[in-house]
């Protein structure tokens, strides 16, 4: 019954795959095995499931070469009618797929971007939202896909995106994840759940080597936190914390160095073996050590399975068809490359007979004995073994669940525990973002002081009636406007909630309760400070009862408006829709609150808004305490005065406005009733959230460019399954720079003659625990025509070094994040950079001509008039990376080009192309320095020099790589770390300096004492001395910016105008909001007369 699966299920008693050689075992496997034995001793059934799919077909709506409408073309009714008549065709992205991954097996899924790998993993993880058609059978053990929905927390997918609350630390993120998966019953050796949770968290942090980051914020593109590789590892262990039985890993080694990627693969191998997991993995640029850890491989081409079978038979099968695999090549890249006409290599005698298309490849595969053996596995769900394992699986899951949960619930812990964990996390988010919280509270104080000074010391006579009512109205208005930020917050936190929902961490209601609970201290402080300042500066009734009534009403209305805008954000699927409605709602609720238009003067067609407006009830209640016992002087414009009476009774004045002192507590209750209703609406709407996977990425061209734009040759991810042109196979032996012998002749590229050097570079940052050295006496250089590699384990300071070295005016710096204007075309983005960043003395025509040169160099000619789009919608990863490189190249950097991980997230062929482009740059004299993860042996050999860093930013090696990496291999071999012939030297070096081959040796000290270091230091001194005697290569022109301020205004204004012209959602929202608001206000103030009340 005891279910300590928090460690055992997270982290295989079968022997390791026979292909795993000695030294390839995960160091923590014995610990996992011990946890497994502890589970069994506690009576917990094994949780082994497996997954099988047959005749699987998936279709989406084709969106190739889609047209993006602009502000005017969207109103072209005849064209819209014509296009509406033609139903967009469906495109098949998975075609008749079959497969079976039994408990304890690992399957590697390979294919180019767009071949259907991610879609297949979505299907296996039971995520079907957004696809036009899904047919075929998927079984989990013996369960159907429909029944398996109850166990979504056991069928888990780790996507490429790293979605976190950036202000949380790594430990806080993992505390939350492990707390939501604590079993109901504990093993006998565990004292309490807190001990189990802490043990699980610490083990997971240790398993991926990020225990040292526990007190560091996760961060994102805007908040400084852990490195990109460390953030990916946090994503991995958060997924492992689900303790699932079927895991899908979508390119989970993206951003990891080779050593860490191998450690991850060994961990998954161990977990799969010990726990009997079913692991399905898709990887780009997988090294042979990683490849050999798998049991089976599935190769996709255009959504068709061209090979599915044992790992060891895949290469012989492809070689039997005539495809050449070069010595030392990554087998995974080779298998993917055979599906690419321009990358595959074929034996001369097979040129006329090898299978050229996906259908031909699949036909050849289906004729093999491998196919027949694999077919026999598809009946696994009907076997007695599968039924028994499924029964034990269900029993184990049910034992772990809290007894208060419904039988069909996919969650593990009870609702109270879910809510507690969510509340604790919500407060951690607030405390982690102290700046935002502080700014909000300081602005509240400032606004209260300003408003108090405007309404200062209002008199008690008739003139004070309007001032006091204005002060009450401002109190409502300010706190309502402050609550509108909830709409934005709803969308920023949504991706994380959707991920956690798929992990079955908690019910959305628990998340909503946490938000409400976290509101309490924030709103209490905000309203209390605001009320104290405003109330007594205005001089409202100076009694405790009146003040606390005012305070309680403002507090209730602030809670209510916060819930209102949170409900609006939760109800809408897009921010544009939510912003339209929230803008209209704030207008309607303020106008019909009873201040701008008194209740008796409201027109009958909109008076109903007053009765459903919580602010109206609040404003009514605020009036009561101040006027009940007052008798202001009767004068024109003050209602309620009786004939011949020199004063106005306060109750009569209130009655003339349809208000009454007796309404106070009734209205107070109504406001809280509205709050409860809005919270319920938020919970219901949040429960209905789904991932926006229906928004499939697609290439789009602006309508105004459509008539002159060439056909888009490259298609987007997952929609990239069109027919490929047969092409003559050519050799891909790694000779990249010489692909085009006329590179330097045919391209008028900017040439660099300066040598860039840095010496004894140290960089220290302040942290709560003291100063932290990120770079420690780093030195080196980059010469013209040199392609330098900057490598090291995750967190070694590679990106920090580039940040420190970058001088943006004279250098091009391509950062990891490809940030572009989404509504600009590729050509427009390059032209904008060229016109803005090249010298003001360069003629405009010459700048634009240079853009064409770069477009040719980066092979972007088919995409020049394509919109860049947002990340995931528009250009794919490789295309966006090329645009990023192009934006820097067109600026004609006078010194060198920096690139931070340009091949991360790319498949082997795309990485091949990217490095080929860099070799072209070096071939024409450009100096290039690149940080790179997981390069294949062929790619690594293309670089000229290597700067290798280890933890703490310490140098381990700087110098030539040598032909086929002979120089660098000789260096490490001389100091006791020889590189085996069949091992990738890039992976070997990372393993040596920071992995399991480090031998606890101080490689930084080895380098400092080596003769190579002495030679480098001497050469560096020579270069610096030689450069000192020469005129500088980059002469400062005396201007801060390359172009004048007038030219900058012109270019930026033109780009922004064109972006708005194409951003139809934004423009339409503005028009609709303004038109509706104008009509609403027009009918609200319909035919205003000249009476005192109308004025």
Return the axis-axis angle of helices 826-837 and 877-889, rounded to nearest 10°.
Answer: 20
Say if CB 256 and CB 262 are below 8 A apart: no
User: In terms of domains, do 354 and 424 share one?
Assistant: no
- Could you please report the per-residue DSSP string of 82-105? HHHHSPPPEEEEEEEEEEEE-TTE
Say if CB 947 and CB 791 are below 8 A apart: yes
The helix/strand/coil state of 137 is strand
Predicted confidence at residue 525, as pLDDT, reads 92
Question: Around Cβ 933, how many Cβ atoms within 10 Å?
Answer: 27
Beta strand pairing status for 756-767 and 770-782?
antiparallel
Helices assigned H by DSSP within 351-383:
358-366, 369-377
Residue 817 lies in a domain: no
Nearest CA among 815, 838, 822, 828 for reference residue 884: 815
User: Tokens standing for 1008?
Assistant: 């400092």
Residue 1087 lies in a domain: no
Domain count, the chain: 3
User: In terms of domains, do 341 and 459 share one?
Assistant: no
| CATH number for the domain harbouring residue 150 | 3.40.50.300
Residue 1037 lies in a domain: no
Helices assigned H by DSSP within 16-133:
29-41, 77-85, 117-124
Residue 946 lies in a domain: yes
Predicted confidence at residue 807, as pLDDT, reads 61
Per-residue HEC secondary structure of 585-644 comes to HHHHHHHCCCCCCCHHHCCCCCHHHHHCCHHHHHHHHHHHHHHCCCCCECCCCCCCCCCC
Q: What is the DSSP letter of 431?
A: H
Domain containing 996 equals 755-811+898-1030
Q: Where are the beta strands (DSSP E) in 302-362?
A: 304-310
User: In terms of domains, do 483 and 375 share one?
Assistant: no
CA 432 to chain centre: 19
Report the chain (1095 residues): mean pLDDT per 10 consecutive residues. 39 36 68 83 83 92 65 76 71 91 94 86 88 90 92 91 90 94 82 87 90 89 82 92 93 81 90 93 86 94 92 93 83 88 83 87 92 92 93 90 88 92 93 86 92 83 71 89 88 88 91 91 92 89 86 94 93 85 89 83 87 90 65 51 57 64 86 95 88 54 62 40 37 40 47 78 80 86 88 80 70 75 91 89 89 82 84 72 83 76 74 78 82 80 89 89 87 86 80 71 88 91 81 62 88 91 83 86 80 56
Predicted confidence at residue 380, as pLDDT, reads 92
Beta strand pairing status for 133-140 and 143-144?
antiparallel
Predicted confidence at residue 868, as pLDDT, reads 87
Residue 798 lies in a domain: yes
Which residues are CB-neighbours of 993 under 8 A, at least 6 positions away? 792, 793, 948, 950, 956, 1003
User: In terms of domains, do 433 and 371 share one?
Assistant: no
User: In terms of domains, do 375 and 419 share one?
Assistant: no
User: In terms of domains, do 439 and 346 share one?
Assistant: no
Nearest CA among 930, 929, 988 for reference residue 956: 988
Say if CB 919 and CB 966 are below 8 A apart: no
Say if CB 761 and CB 915 are below 8 A apart: no
With tokens 């799919």, the residue in question is 53
Asked which of 996, 1030, 1064 is the last residue of a domain, the reply is 1030
User: In terms of domains, do 918 and 987 share one?
Assistant: yes
Say if CB 421 and CB 273 are below 8 A apart: no
User: Tokens standing for 910?
Assistant: 């795309």
Residue 474 lies in a domain: yes
Asked which of 1030, 1063, 1090 is the last residue of a domain, the reply is 1030
What is the C-alpha end-to-end distance of the chain, expressed in Å? 77
Separation of alpha carbons 195 and 133, rounded Å: 47
User: In terms of domains, do 671 and 770 share one?
Assistant: no
User: In terms of domains, do 340 and 448 share one?
Assistant: no
Residue 881 lies in a domain: no
Predicted confidence at residue 432, as pLDDT, reads 87
User: In terms of domains, do 759 and 676 share one?
Assistant: no
User: In terms of domains, do 347 and 473 share one?
Assistant: no
- Could you please report the per-residue DSSP string of 536-580? HHHT---SHHHHHHHHHHHHHHHHHHHHHHHHHHHH-SSHHHHHH
Predicted confidence at residue 41, as pLDDT, reads 76
Q: Which helix (H) or strand (E) holds 958?
A: strand 954-960
Separation of alpha carbons 1043 and 938, rounded Å: 42
User: In terms of domains, do 371 and 420 share one?
Assistant: no
Question: Around Cβ 433, how many Cβ atoms within 10 Å?
Answer: 16
Residue 957 lies in a domain: yes
Q: Which helix (H) or strand (E) holds 60?
A: strand 51-61
User: Tokens standing for 14?
Assistant: 């079968």
With tokens 């208005």, the residue in question is 477
Separation of alpha carbons 551 and 538, rounded Å: 14
Predicted confidence at residue 649, as pLDDT, reads 56
The residues facing 298 across adjacent strands are: 109, 308
Q: Which helix (H) or strand (E) holds 298?
A: strand 296-301
Separation of alpha carbons 34 and 41, rounded Å: 10
User: Tokens standing for 385?
Assistant: 């073994």
Separation of alpha carbons 688 and 110, rounded Å: 34
Asked which of 358, 380, 402 is the last residue of a domain, the reply is 380
User: Tokens standing for 431?
Assistant: 């405390």
């Amino acid at each position: 019954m005891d279910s300590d699966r928090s460690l055992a299920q997270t982290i295989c008693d079968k022997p390791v795959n026979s292909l795993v050689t000695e030294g390839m075992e995960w160091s923590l496997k014995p610990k996992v095995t011990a946890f497994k034995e502890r589970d069994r001793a506690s009576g917990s059934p094994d949780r082994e499931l497996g997954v099988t799919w047959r005749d699987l077909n998936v279709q989406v709506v084709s969106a190739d070469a889609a047209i993006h409408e602009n502000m005017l073309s969207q109103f072209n009714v005849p064209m819209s009618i014509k296009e509406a008549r033609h139903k967009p065709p469906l495109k098949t992205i998975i075609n008749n797929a079959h497969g079976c991954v039994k408990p304890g097996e690992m399957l590697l899924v390979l294919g180019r971007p767009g071949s259907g790998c991610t879609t297949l993993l979505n299907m296996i993880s039971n995520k079907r939202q957004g696809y036009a058609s899904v047919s075929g059978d998927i079984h989990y053990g013996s369960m159907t896909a429909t029944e398996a929905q109850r166990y979504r927390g056991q069928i888990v997918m780790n996507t490429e995106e790293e979605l976190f609350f950036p202000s949380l630390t790594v430990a806080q993120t993992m505390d939350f994840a492990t707390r939501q998966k604590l079993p109901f019953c504990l093993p006998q050796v565990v004292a309490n759940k807190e001990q189990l949770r802490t043990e699980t968290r610490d083990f997971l942090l240790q398993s991926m080597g990020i225990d040292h980051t526990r007190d560091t914020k996760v961060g994102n593109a805007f908040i400084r936190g852990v490195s990109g590789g460390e953030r990916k590892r946090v994503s991995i262990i958060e997924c492992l914390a689900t303790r699932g039985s079927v895991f899908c890993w979508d390119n989970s080694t993206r951003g990891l160095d080779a050593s860490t990627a191998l450690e991850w693969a060994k961990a998954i191998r161990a977990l799969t073996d010990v726990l009997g997991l079913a692991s399905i993995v898709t990887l780009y640029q997988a090294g042979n050590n990683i490849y050999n850890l798998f049991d089976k491989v599935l190769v996709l081409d255009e959504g068709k399975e061209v090979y599915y079978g044992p790992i060891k038979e895949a290469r012989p099968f492809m070689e039997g068809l005539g495809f050449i695999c070069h010595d030392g090549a990554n087998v995974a890249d080779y298998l993917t490359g055979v599906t690419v006409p321009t990358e595959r290599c074929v034996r001369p005698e097979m040129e006329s007979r090898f299978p050229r298309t996906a259908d031909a490849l699949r036909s050849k595969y289906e004729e093999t004995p491998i196919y027949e053996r694999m077919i026999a596995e598809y009946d696994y769900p009907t076997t007695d073994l599968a039924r028994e394992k499924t029964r034990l699986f269900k029993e184990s899951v049910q034992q772990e669940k809290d007894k208060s949960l419904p039988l069909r619930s996919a969650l593990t812990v009870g609702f109270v525990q879910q809510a507690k964990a969510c509340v604790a996390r919500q407060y951690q988010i607030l405390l982690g973002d102290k700046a935002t919280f502080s700014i909000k509270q300081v602005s509240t104080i400032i606004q209260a002081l300003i408003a108090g000074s405007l309404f200062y010391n209002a008199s008690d006579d008739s003139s004070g009636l309007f001032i006091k009512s204005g002060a009450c109205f401002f109190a409502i208005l300010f706190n309502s406007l402050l609550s509108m930020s909830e709409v934005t917050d709803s969308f920023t936190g949504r991706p994380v909630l959707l991920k956690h929902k798929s992990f079955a961490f908690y019910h959305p209601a628990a998340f909503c309760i946490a938000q409400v609970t976290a509101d309490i201290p924030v709103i209490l402080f905000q309203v209390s400070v605001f009320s104290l300042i405003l109330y007594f500066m205005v001089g409202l009734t100076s009694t405790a009862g009146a003040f606390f009534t005012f305070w309680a009403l403002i507090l209730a209305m602030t809670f209510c408006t916060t819930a209102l805008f949170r409900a609006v954000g939760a109800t809408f699927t897009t921010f544009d829709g939510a912003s339209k409605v929230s803008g209209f709602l704030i207008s309607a609720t303020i106008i019909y609150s009873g201040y701008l238009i008194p209740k008796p003067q409201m027109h009958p067609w909109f008076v109903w808004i007053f009765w459903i407006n919580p602010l109206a009830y609040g404003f009514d209640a605020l009036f009561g305490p101040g006027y009940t016992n007052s008798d202001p002087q009767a004068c024109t414009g003050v209602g309620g005065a009786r004939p011949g009476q020199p004063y106005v009774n306060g109750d009569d004045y209130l009655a003339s406005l349809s208000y009454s002192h007796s309404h106070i507590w009734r209205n107070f209750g109504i406001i809280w009733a509205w709050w409860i209703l809005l919270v319920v609406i938020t919970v219901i709407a949040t429960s209905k959230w789904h991932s926006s996977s229906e928004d499939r990425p697609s290439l789009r061209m602006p309508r105004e460019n459509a008539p002159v734009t060439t056909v888009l040759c490259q298609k987007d991810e997952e929609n990239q399954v069109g027919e490929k042109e047969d092409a003559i196979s050519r050799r891909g032996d790694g000779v990249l720079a010489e692909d085009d012998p006329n590179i330097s002749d045919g391209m008028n590229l900017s040439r660099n003659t300066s040598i860039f050097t840095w010496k004894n570079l140290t960089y220290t940052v302040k942290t709560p625990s003291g100063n932290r050295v990120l770079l420690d006496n780093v030195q080196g250089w980059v010469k013209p025509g040199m392609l330098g590699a900057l490598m090291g384990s995750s967190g070694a300071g590679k990106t920090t070094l580039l940040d420190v070295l970058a001088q943006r005016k004279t250098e091009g710096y391509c950062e990891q994040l490809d940030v572009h204007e989404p509504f600009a075309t590729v050509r427009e983005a390059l032209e904008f950079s060229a016109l803005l960043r090249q010298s003001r003395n360069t003629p405009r025509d010459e700048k634009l001509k240079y853009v064409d040169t770069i477009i040719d160099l980066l092979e972007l000619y088919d995409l020049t008039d394509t919109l860049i789009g947002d990340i995931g919608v528009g250009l794919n990863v490789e295309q966006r990376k090329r645009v990023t490189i192009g934006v820097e190249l067109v600026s004609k950097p006078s010194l060198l080009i920096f690139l931070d991980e340009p091949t991360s997230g790319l498949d082997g062929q795309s990485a091949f192309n990217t490095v080929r482009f860099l070799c072209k740059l070096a071939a024409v004299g450009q100096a290039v320095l690149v940080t790179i993860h997981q390069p294949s042996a062929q790619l690594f050999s293309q670089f000229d020099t290597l700067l290798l860093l280890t933890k703490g930013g310490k140098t381990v090696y700087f110098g030539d790589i040598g032909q086929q990496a002979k120089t660098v291999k000789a260096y490490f071999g001389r100091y006791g770390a020889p590189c085996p012939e069949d091992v990738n030297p890039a992976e070997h070096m990372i393993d040596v300096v920071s992995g399991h081959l480090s031998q606890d040796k101080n490689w930084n000290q080895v380098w400092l004492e080596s003769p190579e270091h002495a030679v480098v230091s001497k050469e560096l001194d020579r270069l610096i001395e030689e450069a000192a005697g020469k005129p500088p290569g980059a002469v400062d022109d005396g201007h801060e910016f390359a172009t004048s301020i007038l030219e900058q205004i012109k270019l930026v204004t033109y780009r922004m105008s064109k972006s708005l012209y194409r951003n139809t959602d934004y423009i339409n929202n503005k028009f609709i909001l303004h038109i509706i608001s104008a009509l609403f206000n027009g009918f609200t103030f319909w035919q205003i007369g000249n009476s005192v009340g109308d004025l």
